[in-house]
Amino acid sequence: MTIRNALRDHGQRYRPRMACLKKAEKVLLEMQDPCTGVKSQPQRLVITIIPHAITGEDIIAWLADRFQIDAQEARSFGSMLVALGYIYPLQDHKRLVIKPDASLYRFQTPYFWPTQQWPVEDTDYAIYLAKRNIRKKGILELHEQEQYNHLHKWMNHKWDFVVMQAKEQYRAAKERKKPDRVVFDCQERAYWVVHRPPPGTVSAMDYGLDRRTDPNTDEVTGESPHDLLVKYSATYSGHDPFLSKCLPSNPWLTDDTTYWALNIVEIPTKMRVERWTFSFKELLSDPRGRDDFRLFLKKEFSGENLAFWEGCEDLKWGTAVAMREKAEQIYKTFLARGAPRWINIDGKTMEITVKGLKHPHRYVLDAAQTHIYMLMKKDSYGRYLKSPVFKETLKKAICPEEHKFKNRRPSLSPIIIRQQEQEQRAKMAANAPVDITQVMSKLSKQGKEMGPRHSK
């Protein structure tokens, strides 16, 4: 079962798999085991005693023992755990390293562990900064202050909520016992030091770019991303002009733009037609393919499906002003009883759509569009690929000849070309009739401009 985070995750980007997180969690659970883990001691503050503090040297010793590594490596490993946010220092909280002495650390609560699935929200950061400001006005550091102002500007519409939520969280915290309150504050502070590091520090959370595909399994087919990627690469590698030869030739390599010109004309190339067979989406997204498909559907007298689909796309991507009219037009043409191009969708979808059309918005026809899309994909697409229309197109498709590198000479590097030009100019100047006064004035000007530098 997948919890659909896509909507909350704006832009559908996925943080790359940080496999180390899962492994670090396992190590941490071992470390905190009361019997076999790191020895804990109570931390003495002014009036309170808070349990479960561990010293840096104990952590390093335990890691060295557990993994049979030397102290230096254990220290780096420990620092990595701190940098990721699984352990936080109690003193000198901004430096996320393990010190091999009696400095105290504590385990971070699982709620604040770094995760791959959920991005660290700016709203939470704003609430945290507001809370700190409640506790002590003017405590925010410079970079935090700047961030706070920045968030106030772009998250302005939520600001009442942010302030209110900060107050409520603060009040809820008051309900807790004093030591717990201190611990929670330390935990939260440590969390934000990891995820919003002060400027000039290196963050362990820097993972590079976000990815477009989900590092976890594909929801629909249950295939792992590796299989999907391999399949995709195998299918498309022949069609990628940079990975394999493209016919007639890659314009970037040969300066011959026939490749681009060929795909504008009526008759498509064989490679392009082959692409239409990969998936229905490919067929529809290529205008030439869509035209072909439309022709086929016309022959089958089921052109209204494609027309309806195109109408829905138009509604989705069109201007807001024209939305209402378009929706009405589509209803009159395709959905109403006795409509001229009535489409065949099931009763439930029809009911939902008609109800939604009372208050039309961009996505009101989504259900019906999906239904028709699947209908075309499962039924018409298969028949299209076997149809005479497609076979005709395939036969007519041209296979351009490969570019013959006849007069191939390597072009000169721009540096050499520039040197050649300069030599040419110098020669011209040398051959021209010499005017002493001009030459002298030019030389003196050159001398003044260039200063200590030598003239060429």
Partner 1 sequence: MPLVNNKVGDDCTASGDKALADGKALVDSLIKVVACYRHLASCVGGCTDSLQLRDELRQTREKAQNLAGDICHHLTSHLRDKSLPDGQRKEMELLWVAFSSCLELLHVDMCKVLNISGIVSLADSASLVHTGLEGCSDVAARALSLPDLNQAQTDSLPSGLESQERSTMELEISQIDRMIDDMEMKVNVLRWMVEPHGPQYADPLSSTDSVSMAVQSIDEEQQAPTSQPLCQRSHIFVLLLL
Which position among 161, 207, 232, 252 is part of the footprint of partner 1 (CB under 8 A)? 161
The token pair at 214 is 């989900």
Does residue 194 touch partner 1 according to CB under 8 A? Answer: no
Site for partner 1 in 63-92 (CB under 8 A): 90-92
Does residue 40 touch partner 1 according to CB under 8 A? Answer: yes
Compute the least distance from the CB of residue 266 to partner 1, in Å.
Answer: 42
Cα distance between residue 368 and residue 360, in whole Å:
14
**Stretch near partner 1 under the rule CB under 8 A, chosen from 4-12, 67-75, 289-297, 332-340:** 4-12
Does residue 358 touch partner 1 according to CB under 8 A? Answer: no
Interface map 403-442 toward partner 1 (x if CB under 8 A): ----------------------------------------
Q: What SS3 class is residue 151?
A: helix
Does residue 17 touch partner 1 according to CB under 8 A? Answer: no
Question: What are the φ/ψ torsions at residue 96 (nearest 5 degrees)?
Answer: -90, 70
Cα distance between residue 110 and residue 167, in whole Å:
24
Cα distance between residue 53 and residue 48, in whole Å:
13
Burial grade of 323 (CB within 10 A; 0-12, 13-18, 19 or more)? middle
Which position among 95, 178, 391, 425 is part of the footprint of partner 1 (CB under 8 A)? 178
Cα angle 296-302-304, degrees, rounded to a multiple of 5: 110
Cα distance between residue 125 and residue 162, in whole Å:
10
Compute the least distance from the CB of residue 176 to partner 1, in Å.
Answer: 5
Does residue 379 touch partner 1 according to CB under 8 A? Answer: no
Of the candidates 360, 310, 304, the residue with the CA atom closest to the CA atom of residue 334? 304
Does residue 353 touch partner 1 according to CB under 8 A? Answer: no
Q: How many CA atoms lie within 13 A of 330 on its CB side?
A: 28
Cα distance between residue 261 and residue 267, in whole Å:
11
**Stretch near partner 1 under the rule CB under 8 A, chosen from 149-157, 295-303, 325-333, 442-450:** 149-157
The token pair at 296 is 């086929």
Does residue 180 touch partner 1 according to CB under 8 A? Answer: yes
Compute the least distance from the CB of residue 323 to partner 1, in Å.
Answer: 11
Cα distance between residue 320 and residue 313, in whole Å:
13
Q: How many CA atoms lie within 13 A of 107 on its CB side?
A: 21
Query: Is the distance from CB of 187 to CB of 107 less than 8 angstroms?
Result: no
Question: What are the φ/ψ torsions at residue 195 (nearest 5 degrees)?
Answer: -95, -15
Interface map 98-127 toward partner 1 (x if CB under 8 A): --------xxxxxxx--x-xx--x-xx---
Compute the least distance from the CB of residue 230 to partner 1, in Å.
Answer: 29
Which position among 17, 20, 48, 329 is part of the footprint of partner 1 (CB under 8 A)? 48
Compute the least distance from the CB of residue 26 to partner 1, in Å.
Answer: 9
Compute the least distance from the CB of residue 382 to partner 1, in Å.
Answer: 33
Does residue 142 touch partner 1 according to CB under 8 A? Answer: no
Compute the least distance from the CB of residue 29 to partner 1, in Å.
Answer: 5
Which position among 20, 27, 159, 324 is part of the footprint of partner 1 (CB under 8 A)? 159
Residue (320 or 436) nearer to partner 1, CB: 320
Residue (149 or 344) nearer to partner 1, CB: 149
Does residue 45 touch partner 1 according to CB under 8 A? Answer: yes
How many residues touch partner 1 under the rule CB under 8 A: the total is 83
In 10 A of CB 360, how many CB atoms?
18
Cα distance between residue 36 and residue 244, in whole Å:
57
Does residue 168 touch partner 1 according to CB under 8 A? Answer: yes
Site for partner 1 in 269-328 (CB under 8 A): none
Residue (56 or 248) nearer to partner 1, CB: 56
Does residue 47 touch partner 1 according to CB under 8 A? Answer: yes
Cα distance between residue 206 and residue 212, in whole Å:
17
Q: In this structure, what DSSP letter does residue 157 have? A: G
